[in-house]
A and B are shown apart, each in its own frame.
Chain A
Amino acid sequence: MTSPTAMTRDELLEFAALDSYGLLDEYEAALYSRAFHQATPSLQRDVLELQAQIAADETLLPKDEPSEELRTRVLRAVNLAIEQDTPTPLASIGRDVAARNNANNRQAAHTDASSGSFIRFLNANFFWRAATFLLAGVVIAMAYVLTDAAGQHDRLTMAAIQSDVEQVEQLVGPTLRTYLADAATQRVVFTSDNSDTAVWATLMVREGDRKALLIAEGLSPRDDDRPYTLQVRDDEGRVHQIASIDGRSQLLGTRVEVDLLAYGANATWEITSPDGVVLTGTMV
């Protein structure tokens, strides 16, 4: 295992070379990223220069040249992708559905105008349905954000940010936007082995200050009121408890501090209940 401590100049340059060939895995890339941030400006310039030299170096590449036809094909493919792109205001899906529900509710209310309690029921029901649809939209966006390690996520992130993140922030905390908008945010995505349960979570960690936001949905309150635990098993099997989480069926946000790289490349991230592991996480 590579130590997560600061790198020497030679180590950083070695990592930089391998990074420019795309040969670092997620963990190594995160180590490299941190070391780069910590390096002096002069060393950072050297790293950028070395990587650019490697990237532009054609001496190891075949001498074939692309055809002119390929240029046309590529431009056509990109333009087609641009045309088909709909940076959907995903979070607004909830609003559209809510608007339809609202109309339906009003219609229902008209058909039974004598029942005040029924109208109140519809209004209350509408609120929760609208909230659920709204959350569903954002959760879909979040799911993309958190699972697409390669990067399609930023467009979706922006779509989510454009509309109703403010409302989601009321549930998960006001710092959500700073994590979503930061391309350097590291992520651990948690999934359940049990496909019957609609539980998911993600831990977003800011590389600079190691502040993290855990977002989860479906961690129902337990009958015994005991909390869930966010923990990590390091490379040697030792368990480190990071935070306790009170259950809430809806979206929840918990702020924690965590050093993603301190536990080794094979660390296992878990959210547990007193009954056992609920979710296991993977760094993406």
Chain B
Amino acid sequence: MTNDENPKMSQQDWMLMHRVASGDEDAVEELYDRFGALVFKVSRQLMPTRAEAEDAVQEIFVRLWQTADRYDPRRAKLVTWVMLIARRHLIDRMRRSAVRPTPATLEGDPSGSTTDRSPDNPPQDAERNAELLSRIAELPELQRTVIERAYLQGFTLREISEQLDAPLGTVKSALSRGLNRLRERAKKDWAG
């Protein structure tokens, strides 16, 4: 995915986004074909239903078109830019919805206290974050709490700091360390 290791690739990415900004349909297709699956997966992780995830993907690609002329390859590789736009949009969507997913609803537990109980939820919803949540459960308590609230529920670090009555730096470090640990652990599992 990160095939933009060299200046030529960066230039090509910049050109691609330039074409997207100008409304070039082929460029939009290319952008979707490169990043659509990734954007869908992160949407699937954070949205309570598949239908909402698909709606979010649509909105994110419209957003990518709207912001394409701001892409600067000196500041971020294209995959970073795309995923940043996607995550920010999803976090905004969660904040707007007022009801944020709890770990229970993220796992699809029917006893969950918030959303995801609509009859149109397909059965696979129940498993979509199960693996991630089981890994999170193995983390130290603070890291676990901070990751659930920031990464999965869209709270800002400052909000979490206030909720936990913990210094912002502590929350930030716990989040960073926890995410690193999760990624390392997941990579090992994938490799194994």
Chain A positions within 8 Å of B, measured between CB atoms, are: 1-2, 14, 17-25, 28, 36, 48-49, 51-66, 70-71, 73-75, 77-79, 81-82, 85, 150-152, 154-155, 158, 183, 265
Contact = CB atoms under 8 A, between A and B. Distances in A.
Interface string B57-92: 111011101110110100111011011100110111
Contacts of A151: 63, 66-67, 70
B79 A52 contact: yes
Contacts, number: 160
Nearest to B70: A183
Given A2-B169, A48-B77, A55-B83, A154 B23 contact: no
Contacts of A158: 69
Nearest to A25: B156
A229 B38 CA distance: 49
Contacts of A55: 2, 77, 79-80, 82-84
Nearest to A265: B158
A17 B150 CA distance: 13
20 contacts: A20-B83, A21-B179, A22-B87, A25-B157, A28-B157, A51-B80, A52-B80, A54-B80, A56-B79, A57-B183, A60-B132, A60-B186, A62-B45, A64-B50, A71-B33, A75-B29, A77-B61, A150-B88, A151-B70, A265-B158
Q: What DSSP secondary structure best describes chain A's contact surface? A: helix
A53 B29 CA distance: 23
Contact of A58 (B28, B41, B59, B70): B41
A65 B63 CA distance: 21
Contact of B76 (A48, A66, A150): A48
Given A18-B175, A77-B58, A82-B65, A62 B128 contact: yes
A18 B156 CA distance: 11
A265 B84 CA distance: 22
Interface string B12-31: 00000000000101001100
A64 B183 contact: no
A74 B172 contact: no
A2 B150 CA distance: 18
Given A55-B84, A62-B128, A78 B65 contact: yes
A60 B180 CA distance: 11
Interface residues of B, number: 67
A20 B38 CA distance: 14
A2 B59 CA distance: 34
Contacts of B58: 73-74, 77
A180 to B, nearest CB: 13
A92 B151 CA distance: 44
B173 A14 contact: yes
A73 B36 CA distance: 12
A250 to B, nearest CB: 31
Contact of B84 (A20, A64, A79, A82): A20
